[in-house]
Structure 1
């Protein structure tokens, strides 16, 4: 599959280009190379920092991405980090979730699943201010309203993913017509992105591997234009609403995920939010 490179832009030098990209009727993903320049997390956040500061935090190491409720091993963050080089079977913990524990589990699971910002809201101060060149109304909300919106759409606006090498997040699109932002703090990730528009559901793409595509099983993806590249430490990837994206960790990885809205997608986001309330 031929992948076009993801544009790399700087807040300092490309402010107008970033604004035009966000406001475009058909925005394309781009990487901000200096988006974390003023963040305390830039020098503070490492795997060792989280193991030392939040090591006793409980969570789940699920085998699959995006399954709710998750099935996997309930363990502590420090145990997960210390066993990143070990097989999943060696990770200490208790199996939880609706699915039975597999007799022959894979070598590794998915990322550690926990809620750090819920238990320590001060962590948000480590990833502020959001770069002014990237419009973000979510980051401007009062904390009470911010958490109320999270409760309505039952999804955290900020998440931290700690993943062993070769962890794959399969092709998917984020909900609620929101922009997505992935910030890499440790390790590197391969990323592949596809524009929205052909009506293919996420479920129809289950099992599709953009790094080794099978045109027979997934004919709708044959010849489809895609972007691809590597996220380096401190890279900030901005993904417009409804773009399909896939990642693979090249190394043990520490990534911040953030969903947000601005003037460009506010109407679509509110319509999605009202639909969620009506369910």
Structure 2
């Protein structure tokens, strides 16, 4: 049973501000692990002004990008390799002709391939408080889904094109988010699929307190470290996420995660019980 609309209906609105400086952002939100929507923060970014499928299709091609479909977190789907340009042209044609595309481009290290595009974004509000940042692009059609999961890093998420809906849940509800025991690098997945919900398996899930928000182009969302979130694209969309780590986390959190990932790849930690190997 799909309960997305039911969860949205019972959700609380997110705190929304129109502007904030780096010091206030840290004091009121980052330090308190409090989610916030910064409305229109990215409106003046070059990315928001320029990036669309026409713009991206004119970039040099990249052959080794990977696509997913459906719900990566709870569904059993597999990566597909693709050409960046061919995929963007597929999206462009689908949007123009109102046809269907299911695949989406996830966690693309876009500045590795196109370093000049760094000039088109500005995460300084966040990066003044971090030592290392991992910035990825998310590009795809409507109705793509990232099911409930909790990233181990703080995440500042900018919507560049189209709209996306987030449903967020606090760490206070960790137990009744029914965490998966599967290994996933840099995150914890929930066993709950709200698009195919089974109340008999997860009887307390609906009692959790949820926050929901729809991001429009130019909006920036802060999702605190370890907070659960579900993401669904409402339109053809382009998004940029920035996972930030403090100096302390470089030698604690990241080091630990890299060791566990290395052990996993060698078959010493949760072999064949993961969201990576079975989807290669």
User: TM-score, normalising length from structure 1?
Assistant: 0.71
Give, in whole Å, the separation in 1 of the partners of 2:63 and 2:258: 31
Give, in whole Å, the separation in 2 of the partners of 1:44 and 1:107: 23
1:169 equivalent among 128, 140, 146: 146
1:109 equivalent among 93, 100, 103: 103
Which residue of the partner structure matches residue 201 of structure 1? 179
For each residue in 1:194-234, what CA deviation from the matched residue of structure 2 results, as whole angstroms up to 9, or x when unmatched?
A: 1113344245733521x675432322413100100201111
1:75 equivalent among 51, 63, 82: 82
Q: 1:212 to 1:234 in 2, by over 3 A?
A: farther
Which residue of the partner structure matches residue 275 of structure 1? 256
Which residue of the partner structure matches residue 117 of structure 2? 123
1:45 equivalent among 51, 54, 69: 51
Look up the SS of the partner of 2:124 in the other structure: coil
* Structure 1 unmatched runs, 5+: 87-105, 151-156
Q: 1:115 to 1:172 in 2, by over 3 A?
A: same
Aligned residues: 234
For each residue in 1:63-119, what CA deviation from the matched residue of structure 2 results, as whole angstroms up to 9, or x when unmatched?
A: 36369xx83432222221222365xxxxxxxxxxxxxxxxxxx96133356432112
Give, in whole Å, the separation in 1 of the partners of 2:248 and 2:110: 29
The two structures, once aligned, show a CA RMSD in angstroms of 3.2
Residues 14-25 of structure 1 aligned to structure 2 (within 5 Å): 16=24, 19-24=27-32
Q: How far apart are 1:16 and its partner, in Å?
A: 4.0
Q: 1:60 to 1:23 in 2, by over 3 A?
A: closer
User: TM-score, normalising length from structure 2?
Assistant: 0.71
* Structure 2 unmatched runs, 5+: 1-6, 95-99, 182-188, 261-280
Q: 1:12 to 1:195 in 2, by over 3 A?
A: closer
Give, in whole Å, the separation in 2 of the partners of 1:258 and 1:38: 18
